[in-house]
């Protein structure tokens, strides 16, 4: 639970990016970022109630899918040349930030993972590793074989029940 710590709400709010709109257009990140202490108190109460009763306001669960053209694709009429991003609730993002901060030691990943990780870039880190490996094999006059994996549809294959069991096993309490 959030245990009434308004600092958690305040810290989570200040990690939001400015000028971001809510999925339904009711709340912007700027409204929360520039909010007063009473706002943090009320949000903390809201999050505690949500956790205690296991429910969330409907608007907090809504998202809007926005198509973004993939880099370099010239065929705008082909739906395969787009990727979708989901614009969710700003209040939901605050709740996510609180839980991610609170459980950051449980929600760790491998040092070899670069994507979806703060202060990491798949482009720069992976390119560096590949260049380092190429340099090693070239300097040792050896062959190197490369396999590329297309993980563009990997989220369609996630076994959520197994993921939730792993999170519980790692010590993440669903009511905290």
User: Do 89 and 47 meet the contact criterion of CB atoms below 8 Å apart?
Assistant: no
Distance CA 1, CA 74 (A): 49
pTM score, whole prediction:
0.67
Q: What is the pLDDT along the chain (176 residues), one digit of tens a residue?
A: 444 456 678 888 988 999 988 877 778 899 999 988 899 889 988 888 888 888 888 888 888 888 888 777 677 788 888 888 888 889 888 988 888 888 888 777 887 777 767 777 767 777 888 889 899 999 999 988 888 777 777 777 889 899 889 888 888 876 66
CA atoms within 13 A on the CB side of 139: 6
Q: How far apart are CA 85 and CA 64, in angstroms?
A: 8
């Amino acid at each position: 639970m959030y245990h009434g710590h308004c600092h958690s709400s305040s810290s989570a709010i200040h990690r939001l990016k400015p000028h971001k709109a809510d999925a339904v257009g009711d709340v912007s990140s700027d409204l929360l970022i520039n909010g007063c202490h009473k706002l943090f108190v009320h949000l903390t109460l809201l999050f505690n109630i949500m956790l205690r009763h296991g429910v969330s306001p409907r608007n907090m669960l809504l998202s809007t899918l926005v198509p973004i053209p993939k880099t370099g694709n010239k065929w705008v009429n082909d739906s395969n040349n787009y990727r979708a991003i989901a614009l969710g609730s700003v209040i939901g993002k605050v709740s996510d930030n609180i839980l991610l901060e609170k459980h950051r030691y449980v929600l760790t990943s491998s040092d070899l993972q670069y994507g979806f990780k703060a202060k990491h870039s798949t482009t720069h880190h992976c390119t560096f590793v590949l260049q380092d490996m190429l340099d090693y094999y070239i300097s040792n006059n050896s062959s190197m074989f490369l396999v590329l994996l297309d993980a563009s549809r990997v989220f369609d294959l996630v076994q959520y029940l197994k993921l939730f069991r792993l999170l519980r096993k790692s010590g993440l309490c669903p009511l905290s």
